[in-house]
Amino acid sequence: MRRIHLFEFEDLSWFPKWLRDYGTDFLRAIADQADYYEHLVPIIKQALERTRQTTCIDIASGGGGGWEKMLQRLIPDVPDIRVVLTDFFPNKDAFDYLAQQFPNNISYYAKPVNALKVPHELKGLRTQFVSFHHFPPHQAQRLISNAVLQQSPILIVEAQERSLFTLLKFLILSPLSVWWLTPRIRPFKWRRLLFTYLIPIIPAYLLWDGLVSVCRTYRANEMLDFAHHADVDRRYLWEVGRITDKLLPVTYLLGYPVNRPSDRTGGQNMSSFTAGR
C-alpha cells in the first residue's frame, strides 16, 4: 500500500483547540489502556544509558499518551528520569494532569514547539510517539536532521502500520473504543460526553484522522532511509525495530551520536529489525 498524505483535522490551524485537545486526550487514554509501549521501556532505558541522559524531550506530545504506563516501569530503575512534554499545539490540561501524577518526573514547555526546529535549551533524548506520520517526507527528514544537527539522540515510534488490514481494524475499532473510553478519560469534562454521544463530532473526526494516519504512516525501511539521508557524515548509530504482540504493531527508529570509538561497529551505522518481542 503506497503512502497517501491526506489532511488530518488536528493538523489544521483553524481546528478548534478544545476538539483537538479532546482528540489527543483520547489518544493518551487508548495508548495507556492498550499499553502499546510496554516493550519500549527497555529500549528507552538502554538509550538513556548509552547516551548518558536522564531527560526525555517528548516532541509532538499531543496528550502525552503512553508516558503514564512507561514511567511506572521506568522510575524504579531510573528514579531521576525527567520527561519534558512539548507540542506545536500544547494540550495544557493534559500536561497539567500528567505533571500532577508525576510531579518529580514530568514537566512541560508551555510555548509551541516546532518539531523541525527544536529550541536548543531542550536537551535530552528526543522521543516522538505516534506523530511522525504528520510530517510529509521532506519535513520528516528535516525533523531527523534537526536532531542530528543538535547532536540529540532520538526515538521515533509509530503504533500502527500502513496496510489495508490496519485500515479495516481502525474502521471497526475506532468508534467502539471512543464510545467505551470517553467516560474514563481524565481530566473529566462534561462537554466531551456531549460531543461524543449526543452530537458525535469527536468520534467522526477521530475516525477520519485515524484512517488518514494509517495511510500516512512510514514503514521501518522508510524511517531508516530518512535517517541515513539526514546523517550524511555517519555520526549516529541507527536501529529500527518492530514489535508485533499488540493489537496494533509498533515500529520504532532509534538513533544516537557515537562519541566513543568503542561504540562503533566498523564505523558504520547499525540497523536491526525485531519481528515481535
Residue 65 has what pLDDT?
Answer: 94
Q: Are strands 250-257 and 154-158 parallel, antiparallel or unpaired?
A: antiparallel
Cell of 112: 509551541
Cβ contacts of residue 102 below 8 Å, gap of 6+?
67, 68, 71, 75, 83
CB atoms within 10 A of CB 177: 19
CA–CA separation, 19 vs 29, rounded Å?
A: 15
Residue spans of the domains in the chain: they are 9-263
Residue 247 has what pLDDT?
Answer: 75
Q: Exposure pattern of 181-220 as b/e (b: 16+ CB <10 Å)?
A: bbeebeeebeebeebbeeebebbebbbebbbbbbbbbbbb
pLDDT digits (tens, 9 = 90+) for 75-89: 999 999 999 999 999
Q: What pTM, to 2 d.p., does this model score?
A: 0.93
Residue 231 has what pLDDT?
Answer: 97
pLDDT digits (tens, 9 = 90+) for 155-198: 999 999 999 999 999 999 999 999 999 999 999 999 999 999 99
Residue 272 has what pLDDT?
Answer: 47
CB atoms within 10 A of CB 273: 12
CA nearest neighbour of 192 among 65, 11, 29, 61:
29
CA–CA separation, 166 vs 211, rounded Å?
A: 9
CA–CA separation, 209 vs 247, rounded Å?
A: 19
CA–CA separation, 263 vs 91, rounded Å?
A: 38
Domain spanning 9-263: CATH superfamily: Vaccinia Virus protein VP39 (3.40.50.150)
Angle, CA of 197, 167 and 65, to the nearest 5°: 60
Share of the chain above pLDDT 90, in %: 90
Q: What is the pLDDT along the chain (277 residues), one digit of tens a residue?
A: 999 999 999 999 999 999 999 999 999 999 999 898 999 999 999 999 999 999 999 999 999 999 999 999 999 999 999 999 999 999 999 999 999 999 999 999 999 999 999 999 999 999 999 999 999 999 999 999 999 999 999 999 999 999 999 999 999 999 999 999 999 999 999 999 999 999 999 999 999 999 999 999 999 999 999 999 999 999 999 999 999 877 788 999 999 999 754 455 433 344 444 434 3
Residue 25 has what pLDDT?
Answer: 97
CA nearest neighbour of 255 among 99, 125, 82, 73:
125
Name the 3-class secondary structure at 255: strand
Residue 274 has what pLDDT?
Answer: 46
Cross-strand bridge partners of residue 240: 253
